[in-house]
Amino acid sequence: MDLNSERQRRYTFDPAQLEPFEIGAAATVIMCWPGPLDEELRGEMQVRLAAALLRIAVGDEELALITPRSMKPIYAFRNVDADVKHMKRLEGRLSSALDVGNLAMPFLKKAYDGSDVRFPGMSDLTLASLTKAIELERRIGLDPANFRKRDWLPWLPVVHLAAAARVVLQQVRETSGREPEWLEMMADAGLIARWLREAQALVRIAILAFPMLEATLVRIELVGVTLPPAN
């Protein structure tokens, strides 16, 4: 599993070789740290998140019963407190990524079927108009240049992943009647598969909406044994 293929911006995960929680962890970390200078950090956070998802998937009591031989050494004997501390950092990055996924929806819908759907306060479908709408909604000053550089551009290469994540979160919310937790979802093989399939379907649409992403859009593919569909 190569998290550092920045030249090609393409990541391939084989469910025959990886556990679902490992795929969920890797894809989430790519979405949260998509920058070309984040290679080392991605590797570190992927292991921390995978270990956390393993605990979620099997539970602490059952995890204690897993023998060292049947568990990959990299996930054994973790410093849980340190991992939890880093998860808070990840949650902040995840929130920012999901925000961009939500804000990009009008642009993606326009590219998909020509729909002219805007957030309240948007006079047209431009980044400047979007920034003004955010200012009105949050009632805080937001410099368009800072928003573009700090909050928009860093996550554009994974905008399809973030938008797909918003879609799946909404689907789970509607079917379960409760507010879903992303980390819990990433311990579910079916939901991981649904998310990545949604993201793959959005690749072409994202490039139509943002042509500058042709060379930099991150692509994640599942190969080998297909993950089971979500319930």
Comparing CA positions, the residue from 17, 121, 4 lying closest to residue 72 is 17
The answer for residues whose C-beta is within 8 angstroms of residue 211's C-beta and 6 or more apart is: none
The answer for residues whose C-beta is within 8 angstroms of residue 180's C-beta and 6 or more apart is: 169, 172, 173
pTM: 0.83
Q: What is the pLDDT of residue 140?
A: 46
Per-residue pLDDT of the chain (231 residues; tens, 9 = 90+): 444 444 457 899 988 888 888 999 999 999 999 987 788 889 889 988 988 888 776 665 554 444 443 457 777 667 767 777 788 889 989 988 998 999 899 999 999 999 888 888 888 888 888 887 776 665 444 556 677 888 888 899 999 999 999 999 999 999 988 888 898 888 888 899 999 999 999 999 999 999 988 888 999 988 754 444 444
Comparing CA positions, the residue from 200, 3, 180, 215 lying closest to residue 94 is 180
The answer for residues whose C-beta is within 8 angstroms of residue 77's C-beta and 6 or more apart is: none
Residue 197 located in a structural domain: yes
Residue 71 located in a structural domain: yes
Residue 3 located in a structural domain: no
What domain range includes position 215? 10-222
> What's the burial of 177, exposed, middle or buried (CB within 10 Å: 0-12/13-18/19+)?
exposed
Neighbours of 67 (CB within 10 A): 7
Residue 61 located in a structural domain: yes
